[in-house]
Amino acid sequence: MQSREGGLTTSKLLTMIRGADTFEEATAYHRSAKEPVFSDALYDLMQQKGLSARDMILRSGIERSYFYHILSGGKTPGRNMVLRIGFCLPCTLPEMNQLLRLAGLSGLYARIRRDAALIFAIQHRYTMEQANDLLLQAGEEPMYKKDGDTEKQAPEGDGKGSERHA
């Protein structure tokens, strides 16, 4: 993915760091570039995909005030919330992993069964509801729980998903 600062990709930045002779040379980019944050990345993805905050709230079922706190940078969402947001955009796998990392969480890891199901759902362009149903059918922790007609968020725990991820 490209950054807004001059189109420098992460792989190009890694190449520059690997080729640097001094720490100062390796971190020259960071002196002038803004650190990436979750809320900015989310806002950028929403703009790229032509979605408003209202669209995201309707698609995700996230409480309006909580979503605006996330979008303003006032709150950092937990793993299941990031996944819900990512499926509602919808995100590619690199975009989803970037959102997870910017929220301070680990990216999706194919060796973890729940993550493998989520990767499958992303690759097959499942909606949030379809991905959640896949998790339930697989016997894995859902992103959110359904209670009759009312959807409830799955417990966030420590913000890293199921206890197997901790």
Predicted local distance difference test score (pLDDT) of residue 3: 44
Q: Is residue 24 a contact partner of residue 37, using CB atoms and an 8 Å limit?
A: no
Residue 147's pLDDT is 66
How far apart (Å, rounded) are the C-alpha atoms in residues 91 and 122? 7
CATH number of the domain located at residue range(s) 36-165 in this protein? 1.10.260.40
DSSP secondary structure of 84-96: HHHHHTTPPHHHH
DSSP characters for 11-55?
HHHHHHHHH-SSHHHHTHHHHHSPPP-HHHHHHHHHHHTT--HHH
- Return d(Cα 24, Cα 35) in angstroms, integer: 17
Res 58: pLDDT: 96
Domain boundaries, the chain: 36-165
Please give the Cα distance from 144 to 150 (Å, whole number).
Answer: 11
pLDDT averaged per 10 residues in sequence order, the chain, 166 residues = 58 92 91 90 97 96 96 96 97 97 97 98 98 97 74 44 35
pLDDT at 33: 86
